[in-house]
Structure 1
């Protein structure tokens, strides 16, 4: 390709076809995009060199970190990416029959349908790697998951037809289910079972730190290091569900949630008198108005930002919080719809504990339908669909939600059905595993398949973790999924037709039309 860069892995890719200029929509430069391609090519070369041999701990670490680093809005630091690339090539060179790095040009220029299927595999693997990384830092690993990265990456170097790659597309979903279950176990065994909690959006006066991302371990360490220092901690984005875990909410200085979804950070952080710690993806290039207050850790990196290394000494963040001093008076913030608080903590343990109530409500007609409205948020026009959809759901229906897409509507008050709230936040994107557990349990209660339940999934996607979750749903045979706000640019017409014909995957239209179709007696 003659373009300065090529990337179409996220939902907001330029022109819904691909970023090909000096800078991508996410803010990464063409040089960064090239380095990420080189890392991917080196990882494919490593997998090919290893062949059928069992990957070592070091090889697994490089594979998982490398895939995670190339996920959207994670790593913008070319020096750090170059260091990773050198390590991967160094480890590959030690193998007896070291293969050259795979050229990503071969993938991007492949026949359209093959490129589409290989992209589904690669982008799905990047999402799985993020979940595997979070589990690993808590000491939880699964050898099947780890070895599959090498099997699937090795396949990307091969030629073939659609039938040679389709099984692996679905296997990515199967392995991701195992990985999400592993992370669910890691989080709950480390931090306890989440329970429903109301989280204020107010920020109290005095020094504070905002922590963003998904990594609960980083939050725990930050809470430990700030205890008794007169510094309040506020979550942001996907860190909101942390308030529901017993081992985290026991800290009295974990106060509330600041801001809305990740794409609003450049506006919301502009005048923030506090540092922001990014633990995972969703970092946007910081504006000059607040770039001196941004800190990164784990695989997240941005040139010029202070990075907290493996020692996890958050002293620079703490000192910055004390220096800035926070607000002089309490600040009463609101959500997108004007609400002053949000709830979270309705994980699968909580919902399954009242499964009999849910079943009785369905049998009596008090609860006619359950919607899972969740996924990623983003800036592209059309995402108001999800707010309007939730607002228009009938009073005899319930809405489960998860991931950062919930910020479109999680401050709404939808009332209750019996003793249950109509709107229930199940947690982070990886907690889609919990939604699957709930659906499976209800199917057992009603002695039917999941597709026969009065349940509809309405999903929004942005990056690669949403891709692997979608593949998990397809692996499980779940049909009639509504997907938006736009379809992935890397899905070719033939692959899309396959998904529509075999899984009834449906692009969203309007809230009114989709609700009418979903709730019609013939649906």
Structure 2
């Protein structure tokens, strides 16, 4: 395959413009191109499916399951395995052929998009993947709006898949996803239609996060204030990373009584906040920090690691843990074993447990505790204290510092921003961005911790719910009249859907960093600045003045 790619979907994209030789994330050019091919197939499948349904005919079952999985697999740091991605391509082509037969049989008129016309010949995979590149859209503003939609859909797909695995589905959400994919497949879609689609993506993103919140709390109870151990025990352990609570429940059930402990890593930390998960005594604690430090932390953990979702950092030849990593769901990496879901909807971790029993206990890298569990139900339990603190002036302002962590040294800005915040300001956080400051001793205000961690990136939904509740309590005319500022870090596509969700709720003057997205063109940025006051970060000192005041 020609060594050519173009990917600009994550914050670390090369030179702030796009990766063209190899992804900064470690993604090979061939992998990037096959992901583009898969997305082209997804657009074709969704477009035909929507046309059939809108004409009043029965489509193929589980089309939505296909494109949700495919979108999730193309999130940054989720799947580096070409064979896995091409199996999804083949599945999509088979679906497309079924859909085309239904359309032809019923006289359904289809647009002449290249995603529909391409026959799916394997000999043409490499060439077709280049035709499906994001650069197929020559107008940079139209390209930018289309990418805002598709990247938002990737984040939405991740949240929807988690919810559906817990039995919570909502066809209206996947119907919108199909409609949006058909819009971005249309080469003649204009600025107004695409801008509206961007905002609709945010609206449905709120609904997807609400659905996942319902799924998680329905299965595991409402998160509650919890002190999480960051030290280690003496038993061998299994380290579970990612976001999927259904998977950690399976693992906890199967390891109970085996003498093997379970530890969370990165975005799985909030599992400790749920009553039905924290009841397992062998859920010992959280090991390490955010995703980008995994290579050194996996090496000292000593036991097996399981990835339920992104974020994977490709290991080097020197890393000692390559033979004890397992992937699941939409994730994949060449040479790593993949655990498939059984027909009963559960996974068999027996091989992982057997391996763990042969390993040493984790090496201790730190000791102490971190506090979290402040999702909306827990925050509302503190509502009287919070309102009293605001009215008395003890709390001057809240600042939402959710989102993602990452490798760039410029992200130390968030540590310093948190450290320099006045003592009467409370941080509201979710996602792995919190690892930049959740181990600082920032104290409390009248017993209310100054860092309130709601959980994973999808739990950013909590801060929308809290903001709307505060608006009601204080009788504010607008959400932007509250003592609330937004200084959000981003890295990948789940942060994109969170941003679009906030914009759809009318939140203005959001600051994002450490850099502005490369996929937002100057023309589209101008619209976002003028309509929503979107801004990048500058210096800690200047941003404190703007967001917090003197």
Q: Please tell me the TM-score bracket, short chain as reference.
A: over 0.9
Whole-Å separation in 2 of the counterparts to 1:108 and 1:15? 21
Are 1:308 and 2:339 an aligned pair? yes
Q: Following TM superposition, by how much is the alpha carbon of 1:245 offset from its aligned partner in structure 2, in angstroms?
A: 0.5
Q: Following TM superposition, by how much is the alpha carbon of 1:114 offset from its aligned partner in structure 2, in angstroms?
A: 0.4
Q: Which residue of 2 aligns with 1:289?
A: 320
Whole-Å separation in 2 of the counterparts to 1:332 and 1:125? 37
Are 1:407 and 2:429 an aligned pair? no
TM-score, scaled relative to structure 1: 0.95
Segment drifting more, 46-55 vs 155-164? 46-55
Q: Which residue of 1 aligns with 2:329?
A: 298
1:81 aligned to which of 73, 80, 85: 85
Whole-Å separation in 2 of the counterparts to 1:400 and 1:109? 38
Q: 1:369, 1:397 within 8 Å by CA — same for their partners in 2?
A: yes
Q: Following TM superposition, by how much is the alpha carbon of 1:156 offset from its aligned partner in structure 2, in angstroms?
A: 1.0
Are 1:52 and 2:51 an aligned pair? yes
| Structure 1 runs of 4+ with >3 Å offset | 51-57, 105-109
Q: 1:200, 1:342 within 8 Å by CA — same for their partners in 2?
A: yes
Q: Which residue of 1 aligns with 2:56?
A: none
Q: Following TM superposition, by how much is the alpha carbon of 1:517 offset from its aligned partner in structure 2, in angstroms?
A: 1.7
Instruction: Name the SS of the counterpart of 2:301 in structure 1.
Output: coil
Q: Following TM superposition, by how much is the alpha carbon of 1:454 offset from its aligned partner in structure 2, in angstroms?
A: 0.5
Q: Following TM superposition, by how much is the alpha carbon of 1:353 offset from its aligned partner in structure 2, in angstroms?
A: 1.8
Q: How do 1:54-453 and structure 2 match up within 5 A?
A: 54=53, 56-95=60-99, 96-97=103-104, 99-101=116-118, 103-105=131-133, 107-158=135-186, 159-287=188-316, 288-311=319-342, 312-327=347-362, 331=364, 333=366, 340-448=368-476, 449-453=478-482
Query: Is the alpha carbon distance of 1:106 and 1:388 closer, same or farther for their aligned partners in structure 2, counting shifts above 3 Å?
Result: closer
Aligned length: 512
Whole-Å separation in 2 of the counterparts to 1:225 and 1:183? 24
Segment drifting more, 174-183 vs 308-317? 308-317
Q: Following TM superposition, by how much is the alpha carbon of 1:100 offset from its aligned partner in structure 2, in angstroms?
A: 2.6
Q: C-alpha root-mean-square deviation of aligned residues, in Å?
A: 1.5
Whole-Å separation in 2 of the counterparts to 1:419 and 1:201? 22
1:428-460, Cα deviation, whole Å (9 max, x unpaired): 000011110000000001111210001001100
1:343-374, Cα deviation, whole Å (9 max, x unpaired): 11011001012222211111111110011111
Q: Following TM superposition, by how much is the alpha carbon of 1:31 offset from its aligned partner in structure 2, in angstroms?
A: 1.0
Q: Following TM superposition, by how much is the alpha carbon of 1:419 offset from its aligned partner in structure 2, in angstroms?
A: 2.1
Query: Is the alpha carbon distance of 1:368 and 1:304 closer, same or farther for their aligned partners in structure 2, counting shifts above 3 Å?
Result: same
Instruction: Name the SS of the counterpart of 1:500 in structure 2.
Output: helix
Whole-Å separation in 2 of the counterparts to 1:480 and 1:201? 36
Q: Following TM superposition, by how much is the alpha carbon of 1:30 offset from its aligned partner in structure 2, in angstroms?
A: 1.0
Q: 1:32, 1:77 within 8 Å by CA — same for their partners in 2?
A: yes
Segment drifting more, 314-323 vs 53-62? 53-62
Q: Which runs of 5+ in 2 are unaligned?
A: 54-58, 105-109, 111-115, 119-127
Q: Which residue of 1 aligns with 2:121?
A: none
Q: 2:5, 2:29 within 8 Å by CA — same for their partners in 1?
A: yes
Q: Which runs of 5+ in 1 are unaligned?
A: 335-339
Whole-Å separation in 1 of the counterparts to 2:88 and 2:353? 29
Instruction: Name the SS of the counterpart of 1:375 in structure 2.
Output: coil
